[in-house]
């Protein structure tokens, strides 16, 4: 049986789980995504995603945070449309970047596609 190729979404969730494996800094609330998904973390893939993520401008990185690393911890109680609206407000307050919903979606999908293309070989 042939293994299904990983999507950008799969790779980003793997990276998000990897991000939460270290120590929680300061007084941040601990979130353990392995409770949601107990598959082994593919560290090489996570490091490759991290390298791409680190090159993003801050406001674009915050879009990825809202949809992956902070999605369940900060925005888990919100529906997708509400999450995007709250995240866009958070990004505007933190960076001054004003993102329309279309911009937010375009940045998210563009990064997913980049991860899929460059990480999954």
* pLDDT number for residue 16: 92
Asked if residue 26 belongs to a domain, the reply is: no
* pLDDT number for residue 22: 67
Asked if residue 63 belongs to a domain, the reply is: yes
Asked if residue 59 belongs to a domain, the reply is: yes
Integer angstrom CA distances of residue 8 from 25, 114, 117: 28, 8, 8
Domain that holds residue 106: 8-18+41-119
Tokens of 105: 């979606």
* Contact criterion met (CB below 8 Å) for 16 and 68: yes
Residue 80 DSSP SS3: helix
Asked if residue 113 belongs to a domain, the reply is: yes
The percent of residues above 70 in pLDDT, for the chain, comes to: 81
Asked if residue 102 belongs to a domain, the reply is: yes
Asked if residue 31 belongs to a domain, the reply is: no
Asked if residue 98 belongs to a domain, the reply is: yes
Residue 30 falls in which region: left (phi positive, over 0), alpha (psi -120 to 50) or beta: beta
The number of domains in the chain is 1
* pLDDT number for residue 34: 44
Tokens of 70: 């902070």
Q: Does 39 score more than 60 pLDDT?
A: yes
* Contact criterion met (CB below 8 Å) for 120 and 12: no
Q: Per-residue pLDDT tens for 59-117?
A: 999 999 999 998 888 888 899 999 999 999 999 999 999 999 999 999 999 999 999 99
- To the question of pTM greater than 0.95 for the whole model, the response is no
């Amino acid at each position: 049986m042939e293994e299904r190729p990983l999507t950008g979404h799969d790779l980003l969730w793997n990276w998000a789980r990897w991000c939460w494996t270290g120590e929680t800094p300061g007084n941040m609330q601990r979130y353990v995504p392995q409770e949601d998904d107990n598959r082994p973390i593919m560290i090489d893939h996570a490091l490759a995603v991290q390298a791409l993520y680190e090159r993003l401008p801050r406001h674009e990185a915050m879009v990825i945070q809202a949809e992956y690393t902070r999605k369940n911890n900060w925005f888990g109680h919100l529906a997708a449309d509400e999450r995007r609206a709250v995240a866009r407000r958070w990004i505007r307050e933190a960076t001054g970047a004003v993102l329309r919903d279309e911009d937010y979606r375009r940045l998210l999908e563009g990064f997913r596609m980049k991860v899929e293309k460059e990480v999954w070989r």
